[in-house]
Structure 1
Amino acid sequence: MTLAGKSVVITGAATGIGRGIAESVLKAGADVTVVGRREEPLRELADLYGPSVAVVAEDVSAPGAAERIVAAATGRFGRLDAVVNNAGLARFGPIEESGPELFDAMFAVNVRAPAELIRCALPQLRAHGGSVVNISSVGAVLSMPGRAFYGATKAAVNSLTRSLARELAPDVRVNAVLPGPVDTPMWNETGLDAADTGKLRAGLLSSTPMGRFGEAGEIGRWVCLLLDTELSGWVTGALVPVDGGRTA
């Protein structure tokens, strides 16, 4: 599996699943534009992988962010072959404690920003027979009490993926990976207290047949597979669960 010669944008690349995806794609030989709100961890990737990394410190939901990201990638590497929409916002809690501003914030990051980045990247993706991988969640297909808003945004990502796969074929492939519980710093940022976070993690672990949380690199390897035209050039519109059997 090789991505040599490809230029790939990865959002939410500073930590967690995004960091694992970025490292996997870089090891497969691609040039990568890493995007995240915090510049320092992105610079760490640049220090590790050298000129194959372009750093863009950007909130993907900010006005004009998509245009700036595409301009940075094409300005640095001369082209753009693929987009990995990984940046996400997860806030959990019962609906009576979750106002519309919370839903709007998650929708802006999880749905609107990926759609806008695809739109802005489309001329480059079409020119190079490119592909898009959206990072969704098993929460898009499972009932999730206390996480309904988050699950709804990820269900929207799945719909976006399948609709755009048909709309953009055969020039551009669009697929999604649906991770199960992956051990990342996100679990410290859900809005739950330590006790409720512990209960949530224990429940997820007990309902995962493989008996463990996933690792970011395991998601990264599936992203590489979907980006590799030689291996998956006939795959589009796929929603691939990588979840330790949680949706089985």
Structure 2
Amino acid sequence: MDTTTKTALITGASRGLGRAVATSLAQRGWRLILTARSEGPLEAVATELGATALAGDVADPAHRTRLAELAADAGGLDLLVNNASGLGATPLPPLADYPLGTLRDLFDTNVLAPLALAQAALPSLRERGGAIVNVTSDAAVEGYQGWGGYGATKAALEQVSRVLAAEEPSVAVWWVDPGEMRTEMLAEAVGEESLEAPEPEGVAESLAELVERRPASGRHRAADLVKGGVA
């Protein structure tokens, strides 16, 4: 194995921002381990990028164990990108009517799974001076009607990120609000006919540059990264 090649695990990599981040890192020479729930699209991305793919649900502990084994086979991780995310109930309901079982499942996917993957990755990330990117949302810090369930999970992920950054000084931890992007998730939330957001490739390029520049741990908005805010 070429020990100079860095390895990244990217979740939610079959479409949208995850796929764009994988493409950007592959162009920079990274070795990639990709996961998503949709096996066909994931395999297509992996074939295109020469990456290792394992389809499954990050909320499933058995799937996370298999991902950890792939990372070990690759010699460890230099980067974990927690991009996989659920939207929750749709059409987006007010909190007064939010189905609590659905919200519980959403916390499993959006908060507990990223933390569990971080826990599994931390030994090699510490050893290799690696990094974690947790993809969050402005819904974590703003009170948007209908976004209470999703926003609550992203607020929790931001706090997890903030504490990890304080507890793990040898690992860079960045929680990034990508802003609106032209993705299937946003189309599900607001309706494709009203979707006027930019494509995710620009955000992905900024995230790749963030990883290369390695600023101090902290929260970033993609709009600021595009303006060079991590320099």
Q: Which TM-score band applies after superposition, normalised by the shorter structure? A: 0.7 to 0.9
- Counterpart residue type for residue 65 of structure 2: E
Partners of 2:163 and 2:13 lie apart in 1 by 25
Aligned to 2:130: 130
Superposed CA offset, 1:151-207 (max 9, x none): 1111111111111011000x11100110111001113444xxxxx6368x46xxxxx
Partners of 1:165 and 1:37 lie apart in 2 by 28
Secondary structure of 1:57's counterpart equals coil
Q: Specify whether residues 220 and 59 from structure 1 end up closer, same or farther in structure 2 by C-alpha distance, changes over 3 A only.
A: same
Aligned to 2:58: 60
Q: How does 1:19-168 map to 2 (within 5 A)?
A: 19-50=19-50, 53-75=51-73, 77-91=74-88, 92-168=92-168
2:216 to 224, 235, 243: 235
Deviation at 1:134, TM superposition (A): 0.4
- Counterpart residue type for residue 30 of structure 1: W
Q: How does 1:7-22 map to 2 (within 5 A)?
A: 7-22=7-22
Aligned to 2:228: none
Aligned to 1:226: 210
Partners of 2:129 and 2:188 lie apart in 1 by 37
- Counterpart residue type for residue 81 of structure 2: V
Partners of 2:49 and 2:148 lie apart in 1 by 39
Deviation at 1:73, TM superposition (A): 2.4
Partners of 2:8 and 2:61 lie apart in 1 by 22
Superposed CA offset, 1:102-153 (max 9, x none): 2111111110000000001111111111100000011111111111011111
Deviation at 1:244, TM superposition (A): 8.3
Contact 2:111 2:153 in 1 (8 A): yes
- Counterpart residue type for residue 180 of structure 1: G
Flag structure 2 segments of 5+ consecutive residues without an equivalent: 226-231
Aligned to 1:185: 184
**Which gives a bigger RCO, structure 1 or 2 (Cα 8 Å, sep 6+)?**
1
Contact 2:24 2:205 in 1 (8 A): yes
- Counterpart residue type for residue 162 of structure 2: R
- Name the TM-score, length of structure 2 as normaliser: 0.88
Contact 2:180 2:186 in 1 (8 A): no
Q: How does 1:201-212 map to 2 (within 5 A)?
A: 201=194
Partners of 2:98 and 2:183 lie apart in 1 by 23
Superposed CA offset, 1:28-76 (max 9, x none): 11001011011111111222122xx01011100012332221211221x
Partners of 1:58 and 1:73 lie apart in 2 by 15
Secondary structure of 2:191's counterpart equals helix
Compute the RMSD of aligned alpha carbons: 2.0
- Name the TM-score, length of structure 1 as normaliser: 0.82
Percent identity, aligned pairs only, is: 32
- Counterpart residue type for residue 29 of structure 2: G
Is structure 2 residue 199 aligned with structure 1 residue 215?
A: yes
